[in-house]
Chains A and B, each alone.
Chain A
Amino acid sequence: MRHLILGLMLIAAISVTLNSQTPAAKVSPARPSWTPESRTPDGQPDLEGYWSNVSITPMERPRELAAKEFYTDEELAKVEKDAQKPKSVAELGGTIAHYDFVQFGLDSTQAKHALNHRTSLVTDPPDGRIPAMNEEGRTRNAERAAARKRMGPYDGPESRPMSERCIFMTQGPPMLPEAYNANLQIQQGPGYVAILQEEIHDIRIIPLDGRPHIGANIHQYMGDSRGHWEGNTLVVDTTNFNDKTAFRGSSEHLHVIERFTRLDADTIRYQFTVEDPHTWDRPWTAELPITRIDGPLFEFACHEGNYGMANTLKGARAAEKAAEEKQNAK
């Protein structure tokens, strides 16, 4: 009960921070600048603040790069320069970018990101690529695809992807950058770390007191996280996933171990290892730098304004009606 109250207090603290800050008041609370010795009032290494996990590094290394793990400074400068070039709709694949994302500030050219010399986020296996799925994983994913096909892609909201339904995007764990608004806030209280992700507005509360995971019969979209400190690294262990988030095709047995290490005032190294013997025969690990940004985060009430869902389903009904009329006219 005490932990629940503490957790609720953390949520309240984050909400207050959100509500009380306007863009005019972007100044962070008075806190001395970060040093490796910086601690929160209860003695935890300090990860607090507003962060962005925007990345231009692909998850998997392009095969052509073979064993090349890092870019040189010179190569990275070119990669960065290319990424900064706003891409035309044509380059991005016709109408996929259906409105001008540069106009709307949604492209990577307008988002701060940390420099990353790595050629892929995946660091292990050494080829920088996610291991091939084992037979059980392949079978399960084929069954999932068949079930989706049986349902009909536009029959109802349930047949639409979870991101369109505003249920779950790429917030994990493991936390991967959203397409836009890839911002997060880390807040620490006695015995807890809380991570708020702007999109789609989830707060993960991570207890640090060594308690066991929730019962094995309970499954959640974001799993169940437990944390502890190893020196200056926050290690977060997450289990109890459901079978719907299916990270890269994973099963509900997914086990994610994340490591947060603050490298300097502006950077956290975020590493994660994914284990799921029901999907891959070996664990795999990835890492990306997270960079400090000016706050605050803004609300992202996705479901309430999601006119797109109704429009999509109406479009499908209109198409069905037109097909029916055409049939009747014959």
Chain B
Amino acid sequence: MRTTSVFRAAVLGMVMAAVPVLAHHSFGAEFDVNKPLKLHGVVTKWELTNPHSWIHMDVKGPDGKVASWMIEGGSPNSLYRLGFNKESLPEGTEIVVEGYQAKDGSTRAVGAKLTFTDGRQLFLGGSAPGANPDTAGESGKK
């Protein structure tokens, strides 16, 4: 019984320690949780900038008009360590983004979930050259 509470406390402590600093800025300030969206489009550019990378994509609306969207993602430094580089997400790649639109209503969004059209996750499962999820997990097990 005592052991259980010890671990519950420890895990809770870790979660609490992790939460406030997960992102560089608060989600709620930049994006609108009431504007979830799902975009299917074609990559036109990938900006590997810090603190966040930005995927640019063209998305065709139901009226046939094409809109340019910018999708916020994680820091390129960690992606680079996982084996991704500028060539990993070439122009013309079709992707699906589930996320939340910017609060100002512009065509910007945060990419909460990014997948290829066949459902593979964009940055997982060896989807990019050099990506190796096996060793990525191993490094934390020292």
Contacts and interface: CB of A to CB of B under 8 A. Distances in A.
A65 B111 CA distance: 39
A96 B23 contact: yes
B contact face: mostly helix, strand, loop, or mixed: mixed
Given A100-B114, A104-B75, A311-B30, A93 B19 contact: yes
A304 B17 CA distance: 28
Interface in A168-203: 170, 178-181, 198-199
B1 interface: no
A56 B140 CA distance: 11
Contact of B102 (A110, A266, A302, A311): A311
Contact of A64 (B9, B19, B49, B50): B9
Interface stretch (A29-37, A83-91, A209-217, A273-281): A83-91
A314 B49 contact: no
Contacts of A158: none
B140 A112 contact: yes
A68 interface: yes
B80 to A, nearest CB: 6
A311 B82 CA distance: 28
A160 to B, nearest CB: 8
Interface residues of A, number: 78
Contact of B80 (A23, A80, A99, A312): A23
Contacts of A247: none
A170 B74 contact: no
Interface in B5-32: 5-19, 21-32
Given A98-B100, A112-B140, A115-B142, A308 B77 contact: no
B39 interface: no
A301 interface: yes
A315 B139 CA distance: 39
Contacts of A112: 139-140, 142
B104 interface: yes
Contacts of A114: 142
A305 B114 contact: no
Contacts of A8: none
B94 interface: no
Interface in B85-142: 85, 99-100, 102-106, 108, 110-114, 121-124, 136-137, 139-142
A contact face: mostly helix, strand, loop, or mixed: loop
B67 interface: no
Contacts of A318: 103-105
A163 B29 CA distance: 14
Contacts of B16: 58
Interface string A105-128: 110111111110001000000000
B10 A319 contact: no
A58 B14 contact: yes
B58 interface: no
A95 interface: yes
23 contacts: A58-B10, A79-B14, A80-B141, A84-B137, A92-B18, A93-B19, A98-B100, A100-B114, A103-B114, A103-B124, A104-B123, A105-B79, A109-B140, A111-B140, A154-B29, A180-B74, A181-B78, A300-B77, A304-B49, A304-B50, A307-B72, A315-B31, A316-B103
Given A71-B10, A84-B137, A307-B70, 11 more contacts: A58-B14, A92-B15, A99-B74, A106-B74, A106-B78, A164-B24, A179-B23, A300-B77, A307-B49, A315-B29, A318-B104
Interface of B: 3, 5-19, 21-33, 47, 49-54, 70, 72-82, 85, 99-100, 102-106, 108, 110-114, 121-124, 136-137, 139-142
Interface of A: 23, 56, 58-65, 68, 71, 75, 78-80, 82-84, 87, 89, 91-93, 95-106, 108-115, 119, 154, 160, 163-164, 166, 170, 178-181, 198-199, 266, 291, 298-302, 304-309, 311-312, 314-319
